[in-house]
Amino acid sequence: MSRTAAIALALMSCAAACALARPCRVEVPPQAFDAGGWALDSQFMDTIGSPCLLAHGLGVRVMDAKARIDVPSAGRWRVWVRAKNWADGAPGRFRVLVDRRPLAKVFGEGSRDWTWEDGGEVELPAGTVEVALCDMTGFDGRCAGLVLAVPGEPEPKGALSPKSLPISDTHDFDFVVTGGGMSGVAAALAAARAGLKTAIVQDRPVLGGNASAEIRVWCAGEARHPLIRELRGKFMNRDAMASYGDRVRDRICADEPNLSVFRSHRAFGVEKAENGSIAAVVALDLSRNAAVRFRAPLFCDATGDGWVGYWAGADFRMGREAKSEYDESMAPDKADSDTLGASLMWTSRDANTAVPFSAPWAEPHAQGVTAVNGEWNWEYGIHQDMIKEAETIRDRLFLAIYGAFSLAKKNPDNACRVLEFCPYLLGKRESRRLLGDWVLSEKDITGKNLFPDAIATGSWSVDLHYDDYTNGVDFLTTCRQPHYGRFWIPYRSLYSRNVQNLFMAGRCFSATHVGLGAPRVMNTLAQTGLAVGEAAALCRKYSCLPRAIFSAGHVRELQRRIGGDWPGNPDPSKADWRYVDDETAGVSFGSGWRHGFCCCGEQFGDKASFASHTSAPAVYPLPVEKAGRYRLHAIVPYFWEATRYGTTAYEISSGGEVKEFSSRIGIRMGEWKELGEFDLEPGAVLRVIPGKSTGRVIADGFAVSPVR
């Protein structure tokens, strides 16, 4: 459906409603505009009631947004614009042009809530007329729709909700994943590769969620599976190269014949079957202003905010549990509604000429902080409601950033500094957590619970954030990050306990606030997606619902499909491997080695060991039971990307012979790499020799396997 046709549809339904011979209202929702330089922002659709257009120009006025509308009859029409004055000083002002003539009224300087602002009357001809939103400031003016009404008609009430749109298309799939962050993409790809006709319903034009170039968070945690290594972002926080990851994800998804990606589709509800399960997810196609229905027997909620579960009536929890509930030492004594906060990680750079920037209205909100960049700890909303107050949280961060940068620009050293990137999409860490048959909690992490249904692993710290108000600044936080080494996530925390055909993947999976603290990094969460996708394939194979994968004994098969070692279910392809870790008894390190958790993961066991070039050798007795020819394998953690640039020197002593060799071991971090074939006898010893190595020297796990 074309944009004009969609508007005409709105017009006709309105005409019917007012039961007059002459249609009395023309509704122009934000998604009916060609956005120009405005962003079409749907992240707060469920609280604003509709998407909105946002003039996010970082202080530079953005190009007009325009829509062409059909005016049913010539005459006088009153113009209503849904706008909001988002901050003191009315920084988000804009004008509206109707039929190329500006209205006298300036919008965005009235009420602090979303309101239909009266733009006065205009004389219009019948037929197609252009309306345009003309940004005046570049500072986040916003518009959630425009209505033309016959004079005397009542003021519009509420949002131009997509809920009033008729369903224009119905799609049938085997599996529908809502939310295209790392977890959702992993779930959808795994299911599609397992043969399920799969859809991703994603509200953004790109995939990746927080990892995308729109938000630019670095993908950390254990990737474990090749699919996640394919998908993960490879650049650090705020790096513009995150867009490379977006392109890779696009390509991988486009190459998968069983997968359909519905970009710019914001889900806004579900349809339920009589038995309470989900029959369909309903979404607004933002590019066509059309409502679309996605039917399937199985669904996955990977929205981060648990929207699908929420609409379906799934049990969920938001906020912090009391210490007593799950016996969590890191939980507060009393339950409360705090969550981890949300961030906009921003950057500036030097231009080759002086560039003005002034936001005096924002400066008080910087609370004395002067800055030209902001990292993860520019975080707000810990004590707010991450769903209901999300727009306010985002705006509060805008004010802090614009204010701090405006103050920094007063310093002549920063004259050429230009605000380069500040997301308008709120980077969220936590909101609703949907409850499954198991709720992952602190003790599962600290006690390394060896779940029989483990389907994912992590080794990130329990990374909890707290406000830092003691410094007198309310938008900066601190964190505590105790490490406990490798932990496991059970399958039972990936499906809803009361909506029978709903999986969840990503940060809305079943965990306590503290329990989420460790698995909440994106590679680890993508593992939950992968497991859900594989489980969906098993549900089809056995004609069963998600719970039965556990209760009917299919978990071993699920683990085998994912691959690798699981508690009580070691990898059969490595049945004849014998391992030695840096923590194994008998392994010794000379002076100068350090040992530590690598929270970014993929080390063998809980720790890795690293040396400088002056360190003495490390000695690993090799687990050789009888003389023969063996392959020697090694692994080092992903985090030590720097090993790629170095060569590690080794020496093997066996049966009185000494053999030296070297390897660029870091080329495939986090994966076992074969170092070569050797004739070994019981008592063989491997030495890692920092003095002869170049680059970073890491010693972690080694293995031998017999050559057959």
**Closest residue by Cα to residue 345 from 403, 301, 401:** 401
Report if residue 278 touches ligand FAD, rule: CB under 6 A: no
Report if residue 427 touches ligand FAD, rule: CB under 6 A: yes
Report if residue 623 touches ligand FAD, rule: CB under 6 A: no
Q: 285-304 mask for ligand FAD (x: CB under 6 A)?
A: -----------------xxx
Q: Which of residues 304-333 bind ligand FAD (CB under 6 A)?
A: 304-305, 307
For the chain, the residue count is 708
Closer residue to ligand FAD, CB minimum distance, 266 or 687 = 266
Report if residue 267 touches ligand FAD, rule: CB under 6 A: yes
Report if residue 670 touches ligand FAD, rule: CB under 6 A: no
Among 137, 183, 446, 663, binds ligand FAD (CB under 6 A): 183
Are 345 and 238 in contact, with CB atoms under 8 Å apart? Answer: yes
* One-letter identity of residue 558: L
* One-letter identity of residue 381: G
Q: Which single residue is written with the structure tokens 């499906």?
A: 495
Closer residue to ligand FAD, CB minimum distance, 237 or 705 = 237
Report if residue 229 touches ligand FAD, rule: CB under 6 A: no
Using DSSP's 3-state secondary structure scheme, residue 215 falls into: coil
Report if residue 210 touches ligand FAD, rule: CB under 6 A: yes
Among 48, 217, 362, 675, binds ligand FAD (CB under 6 A): 217
**Closest residue by Cα to residue 143 from 93, 194, 88:** 93
Closer residue to ligand FAD, CB minimum distance, 119 or 374 = 374
Name the token pair of 319: 């906020």
| Cα separation, 148 vs 575, whole angstroms | 72
| Cα separation, 406 vs 621, whole angstroms | 61
Give the strand pairing for 259-262 and 198-201. Answer: parallel
Closer residue to ligand FAD, CB minimum distance, 95 or 429 = 429
Report if residue 396 touches ligand FAD, rule: CB under 6 A: no
Residue 84, CA distances (Å) to 23, 26, 392, 403 in order: 28, 21, 12, 20
Among 29, 72, 221, 533, binds ligand FAD (CB under 6 A): 221
Report if residue 147 touches ligand FAD, rule: CB under 6 A: no
Closer residue to ligand FAD, CB minimum distance, 546 or 690 = 546
Q: 486-525 mask for ligand FAD (x: CB under 6 A)?
A: --------------------xx------------xxx--x
| Residues near ligand FAD (CB under 6 A), total | 38
Q: Which single residue is written with the structure tokens 């409850």?
A: 435
3-state secondary structure 119-138: EEEEEECCEEEEEEEEECCC
Alpha-carbon torsion, ordered 539, 541, 542, 546, to 10 deg: -10
Report if residue 188 touches ligand FAD, rule: CB under 6 A: no
Give the strand pairing for 139-149 and 25-28. Answer: antiparallel
| Cα separation, 517 vs 326, whole angstroms | 14
Among 198, 202, 603, 643, binds ligand FAD (CB under 6 A): 202
Q: Stretches 169-177, 423-431, 532-540, 651-659: which one binds ligand FAD (CB under 6 A)? A: 423-431
Among 181, 490, 617, 690, binds ligand FAD (CB under 6 A): 181
CB under 8 Å to 442, separation ≥6 — which residues? 326, 327, 328, 329, 330, 331, 462, 512, 514, 515
Closer residue to ligand FAD, CB minimum distance, 179 or 485 = 179
Closer residue to ligand FAD, CB minimum distance, 301 or 363 = 301
* One-letter identity of residue 139: F
Give the other-Cβ count within 10 Å of 195's Cβ.
12
CB of 647: closest distance to ligand FAD in angstroms?
29
Report if residue 562 touches ligand FAD, rule: CB under 6 A: no
CB of 562: closest distance to ligand FAD in angstroms?
18
Q: Where on the chain is the footprint of ligand FAD (CB under 6 A)?
A: 178-184, 201-204, 209-210, 217-221, 266-267, 302-305, 307, 342-343, 345, 376, 427-429, 506-507, 520-522, 525
